[in-house]
Amino acid sequence: MIKGVKKIVLAYSGGLDTSVILKWLQQQYNCDVVTFTADLGQKEEIEPARAKAKSAGVNEIFIEDLREEFVRDYVFPMFRANALYEGEYLLGTSIARPLIAKRLVQIAHKTGCNAISHGATGKGNDQVRFELGAYAIDPDIKIIAPWREWDLLSREKLLKYATDNNIPVEMKHKSGGSPYSMDANLLHISYEGRHLEDPKNEPEESMWRWSVDPKNAPENFQEITIGFKNGDPESLNGKNLLPHEILDQLNTLGGENGIGRLDLVENRYVGMKARGCYETPGGTILLKAHRAIESLTLDREVAHLKDELMPRYASLIYNGYWWSPERIALQTLIDHTQKNVNGWVRLSLYKGNVTLIARDSNDSLFDPEVATFEDDGGAFDHQDAAGFIKLNALRLRLNKKRTKS
């Protein structure tokens, strides 16, 4: 038990975990609990959370539409870096946590709470992400993590607690067991638990919610065009849209064409390996498109430097260091590289694949006169290459001479 708790803000979805946590906090801490529910584009009704919170005796209920802020200020900055964790994961859960942590602390200040609470388990990454974010914003905030305090350490026990305390729970698995542990927002939806805990088990086709099986996707490919300004998508098929509207439409297009499924065994920050399945249709398309427009507009060494820094940047986000000075410093460098990342990219979507068709930019560094295999009219002096090669070979030649002596 955390001492000195007077009033708590709970990150509340209305699902199994947080419904149980709400009741448990009221019982264990005997104080008012404020609920905060964020609409990050999870494509589920969030208003029912209000009714559930009211029925549980909550007087202060915050339900906020954060979709535009989420995509504009978190997802897009991350995509400017082409961030991938361990070469595959597009960080859909990770990037939502700093925004939720920020709003939890802000609501705590607004409502006179001195503690926040979350539903992350003691085995997972989210506890680290929520708490590092909260402490970075308010070093004195108290944080309650029920999974580190109670003995309800399985989803079956949670279901029993819910039944015993008359807590309504939806989305029970058709087999009668506990549901998948899922997290959804505009960037992705994740699945963990149940038979996914054994990496030998194939995911159930019925599990996937956003995408069709690539085998069943349309037989005809679909072309789309994404316009970029300063490294961020600003238009889709010639129409300017808000950031969250672009990502939402790309999710629909990608899902219809079987794009964005991932089955991953990843290394959690707390030290264990974990298996999760993800659907990130829009993000998969955006990554391909962004790298394509960068290929035209970024200087070679700048592009290579970004690729060298990307794994570190991705790990910072995965591990919960969005608000750290090193992530902010990296972001400043990354954003500086994006001022000329402007233009459009045309892509083909077909049965789980995203294929680059064409790209163009008024800020392109590609010079056809220099790159051509035909007569370039003297734009490039071939004789320059001999000296260039000899200078770069000097150390290799000296090293070989030394080994002969």
Q: Which residues are identified as catalytic?
A: 17, 97, 126, 181
Structure tokens at 183: 């997290």
Please give the backbone phi and psi of residue 122, each rounded to the nearest 5 degrees, phi first.
Answer: -75, -10
Q: Are 133 and 323 contacting, i.e. CB atoms less than 8 angstroms apart?
A: yes
3-state helix, strand, coil in the chain (%, to 5): 45, 20, 35
How far is Cα 30 from Cα 27, in angstroms, rounded to an integer? 6
How far is Cα 360 from Cα 374, in angstroms, rounded to an integer? 22
Q: Are 95 and 72 contacting, i.e. CB atoms less than 8 angstroms apart?
A: no
Give the gyration radius of the chain's Cα atoms.
25
Q: Are 360 and 343 contacting, i.e. CB atoms less than 8 angstroms apart?
A: yes
Which residues, 6+ apart, have CB-to-CB distance to 203 below 8 Å?
A: 191, 196, 263, 277
Q: Are 116 and 7 contacting, i.e. CB atoms less than 8 angstroms apart?
A: no
DSSP letter at 74 equals I
How far is Cα 57 from Cα 89, in angstroms, rounded to an integer? 39
Q: Rounded to whole angstroms, what are the CA distances from 210 to 98, 216, 245? A: 24, 14, 16
How far is Cα 76 from Cα 85, in angstroms, rounded to an integer? 16
Residue 247, judged by CB atoms within 10 A of its CB (0-12, 13-18, 19+), counts as buried
Three-class secondary structure of residue 90 per DSSP: coil
For residue 388, the number of C-alpha atoms closer than 13 Å in the C-beta half-sphere is 5
